[in-house]
Structure 1
Amino acid sequence: MDTAMLGRHATASLAAFALTVAVYTPATATVAGAMRGVMPFVAAHDDDPDALVPVVRDGIWLGIVTGLLGAGAVCAVPLIGLVSGVPGETLSALGPLPLLLAASVLVAAVGNSATSTLVGLGRSKLVMRAGTTGTAAAVLLSLTLVNGVGPFDGLGLPGAGVAMLVSSLISAVVAHWGLRRSTILAGHPLTLGRPHPRAVLELAGVGVPLAATVLIKFAVLGVLAIAAARVGTVSAAAHSIAVSLVSLMFTAAVAIGQATIPLMAPYLKAKDVRGLRAAVRAGAKTALGAVVLLGCVLAVLRGPVLSLFTHDPAARHQVLALIPLMLLVVVTDALQAVFGFGLIAIRNTVPSLIAFAVCYGLLAMAAVPLTALGGLTALWLALFGANVLLVVGQVGFFHQRSGRLAAPEAALGRT
């Protein structure tokens, strides 16, 4: 919505927004990745509010720390743009936007501490309520603040920043309100208090590798975008559309993966390895069903869907040719993600980081030469190959690390 509104406002404003969002998006995704590390600790105490309260407080402190780091990166957008050779016209159009979005990152991080807790408690409806409320506010504010309405002329680019900040604030408030009023924590004081460094570091030990994994994925996707752009403008546009569609379908797999964490908690407490693995397999089947269904919808409605993105027949033709590969990519990505969430549930996320570093590292090195040889088809084949390797790595690591959780008596019985 902001992109569409700013595109009608001024080209320089849209360019400045794109520059800031190029840092803002990975910053918020990295913070959200770090906060996922709170989920298994919450799920372990889903029936004990007294033990859960300090976990929630420490999770908020982790959100503040990671949020400040992300906010610092967004504040540095003018400097990043200057060093990168961004035109002065774009830099002068930035205005207060980096500061507004930096504040949005910090607010979103505090909000993520609540949503991660709600997911860990299996209260996803409250998360949806917070998200839809914030999104509705963002749409309404973007429509009114960017280009104005009636006698109000609008704020232009700062209006987009205000809309995003207020949206994050509303989502965070609704999520924390739901956490305090509609869960087992109702009636328990959740004042921040002083941080407990050892407990915060324990949460970070699970969350920080996830944040690093997100950074690796974003960085390599950036390399793929550059490789596609080297082929030509049409290829760059087609690749961008394909990535957007795949990312949208992949969201379903992420949601399902997160939902498996509280379902695995009872098996983890009982050290029931068979139950843990069955829960992850159920999540994998559900995620596969979701992305296959969405893929079928895309295949059937490919014409109307692509018309929302472009009217360029050449770009549409390239995206149509990529659809089979796109479906393979999203299916393999969904599988690796669910087993990655299995590793989150058992609080062992370093293997995922290793798998991504190796598989996506190889992809980054091969992207440009492969694209030069075979265009977008070769690029997406390489992405599919990297995801296949990720599936093998994530499944292997999960089975290895979950096997170590077996109760001693069970292990003795097998011997």
Structure 2
Amino acid sequence: MLASTAGALVDTAVLGRHATATLAAFALTMAVYTPATATVAGALRGVMPFTAAHDDDPDALLPVVRDGLWLAIATGLLGALAVAGVPLIGLASGVPHRTLSELGVFPHLMAASVLVASVGNAATATLVGLGRSGLVMRAGMSGTAAAVVLSPALVNGVGPLDGLGLPGAGIAMLTAAAISAAVAHTGLRRCAVLAGRPLGPGTPRVRAVVALAGIGLPLAATVLIKFAVLGVLAVAAARIDPVHAAAHSISVSLTGLVFTAAVAVGQATIPLVAPHLKAKDVRGVRAAVRAGAVTALGAVLLIGGVLAVLRVPVLSLFTHDAAARDQILALLPLVLLVVVTDALQAVFGFGLVAIRDTVPSLLAFAVCYGLLALAAVPLTARGGLTALWLALLGANTLLVVGQATFFHRRSGRLGVPGPGTD
């Protein structure tokens, strides 16, 4: 996940050096592409607990794999349609004609990338559920390596060959997604539990796909809520001045980088919960999720500590504006607290995924981030970025309480708690 994040930064850097108008067109498309792919990935996380439940039963696992592939195709097509509509979205939003004219075929290439990535996510979600994270890493690293090599070559050209500009970036990202998906599906086919079995989608089992969607779609909606409210926060910061807007944007990028570790740990918790879930062992389920919370907290504190120590050279990679750097440095302790609370709520949220009960997470996000969205602009007008990030910290803290409470109550319904159960 960290490698994929770094790979995305390469495209931004390459296009920024190519032309400002090109980078603007790229940013417009990514403003739709990023939430679209995140939403699809969120929906497919609903496959993980079903996969983990059948990790030793190939006859029961195979239909789940096929149903997950159909869910990936359905959600991927919806995401692809949204990305293909970027020119219309930009036109309706009043984006300058110069930026729209730079788009060309890029949105269509990225729409294809959404669909390909969704098919790849179906495989990686299954692999995570089976506890085969090494294969997931191999797939992600393969795609990232392809993007790092192809993006500069196709955008700027190599030797006597002219670069393709923005379409080159689209081809590079589509190729990287295809390579990552191919490696993931190859790894899935080689898993002992599925060896020799046909993993094509087959005939769709509508009811089974709907059952998977019932777990995955609340997760997808949760992702959309988070992206939408973060957009509101960006607007609130932009209303102050460009320096504060830049400082906020960089701070959000840093939190996203650190938060990736918590998401990885949360997903890895799901197959650890599965055996206890089968046995209706409430104590074991809760212990596995608590272990995930401790691990995620340790990972976030480690990465955050490195960031705090190397804050000056790290920030110099993002901006040369001294005023923006000073603003970020002042916010850094608050930013790290926001990441810590976000990490904890995420792990308890994945605990709910593991027990196949994702609607409470959606409700918690709708309430906490809904209140944050309403308060963001007036709070920022009164107290600047500090007030905005304090509000975000408050919302995340409420989410920790809400997610942990929901998980504790819902996990208690799994069976009769044993002696010493919390």
TM-score (norm 1): 0.98
Match of 1:173 in 2: 182
Q: Give the stretch that moved more between structures: 187-196 or 109-118.
A: 187-196
Note if 1:148 corresponds to 2:157.
yes
Cα deviation per residue 1:71-117 (whole Å; 9 max; x = unaligned)? 00001100000000011111111000010000000000000000000
Secondary structure of 2:45 counterpart = helix
Match of 1:17 in 2: 26
Aligned length: 411
Match of 2:340 in 1: 331
Secondary structure of 1:308 counterpart = helix
Match of 1:360 in 2: 369
CA shift, 1:183, in A, is 3.8
2:286 to 271, 277, 288: 277
Letter paired with 2:17 = R
2:245 to 233, 236, 261: 236
Letter paired with 2:218 = P
Cα deviation per residue 1:319-350 (whole Å; 9 max; x = unaligned)? 00011101110000000000000000000000
Runs (4+) of structure 1 moved beyond 6 Å?
A: none
Match of 2:7 in 1: none
Match of 1:90 in 2: 99
Secondary structure of 2:318 counterpart = coil
Note if 1:132 corresponds to 2:141.
yes
Letter paired with 1:253 = A
- Root-mean-square deviation (Å): 1.2
CA shift, 1:158, in A, is 0.2
CA shift, 1:182, in A, is 3.2
Note if 1:39 corresponds to 2:48.
yes
Note if 1:227 corresponds to 2:208.
no
Note if 1:346 corresponds to 2:366.
no
Letter paired with 1:240 = S
CA shift, 1:9, in A, is 1.8
Q: Give the direction of change, closer, same or farther, for the CA distance of 1:367–1:183 in structure 2 (3 Å limit).
A: farther
Q: Please give the alpha-carbon distance, in whole angstroms, between the structure 2 residues aligned to 1:192 and 1:296.
A: 45
Letter paired with 2:165 = G
Note if 1:191 corresponds to 2:203.
no
Q: Please give the alpha-carbon distance, in whole angstroms, between the structure 2 residues aligned to 1:13 and 1:374.
A: 35
Letter paired with 2:355 = I
CA shift, 1:187, in A, is 1.2
Secondary structure of 1:94 counterpart = coil
CA shift, 1:191, in A, is 2.1
Q: How does 1:375-386 map to 2 (within 5 A)?
A: 375-386=384-395
Match of 2:266 in 1: 257
Letter paired with 1:231 = I
Q: Please give the alpha-carbon distance, in whole angstroms, between the structure 2 residues aligned to 1:10 and 1:318.
A: 28
Note if 1:310 corresponds to 2:331.
no
Letter paired with 2:104 = G
Q: Please give the alpha-carbon distance, in whole angstroms, between the structure 2 residues aligned to 1:13 and 1:283.
A: 42
Note if 1:201 corresponds to 2:201.
no
Cα deviation per residue 1:268-317 (whole Å; 9 max; x = unaligned)? 00000011001110000000001011111111111111111111110000
Letter paired with 1:109 = S
Match of 1:267 in 2: 276
Secondary structure of 2:159 counterpart = coil
Match of 2:299 in 1: 290
Cα deviation per residue 1:210-268 (whole Å; 9 max; x = unaligned)? 00000000000000001000011000100011111111000000000000000000000
CA shift, 1:6, in A, is 1.4
Q: Please give the alpha-carbon distance, in whole angstroms, between the structure 1 residues aligned to 2:150 and 2:333.
A: 38
Letter paired with 1:289 = G
Q: Please give the alpha-carbon distance, in whole angstroms, between the structure 2 residues aligned to 1:203 and 1:195.
A: 13
Q: Please give the alpha-carbon distance, in whole angstroms, between the structure 1 residues aligned to 2:322 and 2:22.
A: 28
2:69 to 48, 60, 74: 60
Q: Please give the alpha-carbon distance, in whole angstroms, between the structure 2 residues aligned to 1:349 and 1:397.
A: 10
Secondary structure of 2:239 counterpart = helix
Letter paired with 1:329 = V
Q: Please give the alpha-carbon distance, in whole angstroms, between the structure 2 residues aligned to 1:182 and 1:240.
A: 41
Cα deviation per residue 1:145-171 (whole Å; 9 max; x = unaligned)? 001110011100000000110000000
Q: Please give the alpha-carbon distance, in whole angstroms, between the structure 1 residues aligned to 2:232 and 2:45.
A: 26
Cα deviation per residue 1:116-152 (whole Å; 9 max; x = unaligned)? 0000000000000000000000011101000111001
Letter paired with 1:328 = L
TM-score (norm 2): 0.96
CA shift, 1:2, in A, is 1.4
Secondary structure of 2:249 counterpart = helix
Identical counterparts, % of pairs: 78
Structure 1, unpaired ranges of 5+: none
Secondary structure of 1:348 counterpart = coil
Q: Please give the alpha-carbon distance, in whole angstroms, between the structure 1 residues aligned to 2:102 and 2:152.
A: 20
Q: Please give the alpha-carbon distance, in whole angstroms, between the structure 1 residues aligned to 2:212 and 2:378.
A: 40
Secondary structure of 1:377 counterpart = helix
2:328 to 319, 323, 348: 319
Match of 1:106 in 2: 115
